[in-house]
Amino acid sequence: MEILKTENVNKIYGRGETEVKALRNVSFSMQKGEFAAVVGESGSGKSTLLNCIGGLDTPTEGKVFLNGEDLFGMKENNRTVFRRRNIGFIFQSFHLIAELNVEQNIIFPLLLDHEKPDPTQLGELLEVLHLQERRKHLPGQLSGGQQQRVAIGRALITRPALVLADEPTGNLDSKNSQDVMELLFRAARHYQQTVLMITHNQNLAALADRVLRIADGALTELGGMRK
């Protein structure tokens, strides 16, 4: 089942001599349950691609379809609600709310939609992410790796169609990076999530089903690397 499809996505910043073509005719698709990594040098267009796919930035040209819905064919207010319900974001910075404990941070996206969390689903997610013993802890009482696991839980709690991860281990040491990535991969497999992850780390990219490279705004397929 096709979850994500981009058609000739272009993104241009500036005009004339200051014009920068951040994305050039990017077209690709992802199926349900796929875990793909995007690699490339700094400034190659990786984050711009993720922001356009996630509806945080608007392409200059081209289309983005999520679950068959044209993301930029929607009115802005509708797109905001659709994004919150269908896309999970994981960033390099954890963006946890300091005053909320682990459980409260994870269920926060549900509360924004006035939904009550399913205790069984929450408990299962805490177990998958090895956070059940930390569920009442505040972010300041957690290690960096544990905080990123909370951020992963927050991205997965709504069971979104797509999870976008932008350098999710950028603030972690190599051991925590490997642990967090294995947990993200395990959680994605467990919930059959589709994940698109940006990383500059080739070892982490090797955990993905597919690897895409972006250079000067153009996307190429490197194929599968996971053994």
Looking up residue 182, the CATH number of its domain turns out to be 3.40.50.300
The pLDDT, as a whole number, for residue 224 is 59
Mean pLDDT score, 208-224: 89
Quote the domain boundaries for residue 48: 2-223
Q: Could you read off the pLDDT of 134-191 as tens digits, one per residue? A: 999 999 999 999 999 999 999 999 999 999 999 888 888 888 888 888 888 888 888 8
Whose CA is closest to 187, among 23, 33, 12? 33
User: If you average pLDDT over every residue of the chain, what do you get?
Assistant: 91
Q: According to the model, what pLDDT value does residue 20 have?
A: 92
Task: Reply yes or no on whether the pLDDT at 15 is more than 60.
Answer: yes
Residue 195 — pLDDT band, cuts 50, 70, 90? very high
Confidence of residue 27 (pLDDT cuts 50, 70, 90): very high
Structural domain total, the chain? 1
In this prediction the pTM is 0.89
For 104-140, the pLDDT digits (tens) are: 999 999 998 899 999 999 999 999 889 999 999 999 9
The better pLDDT of the pair 204, 136 is held by: 136
197 pLDDT band, cuts 50/70/90, is very high
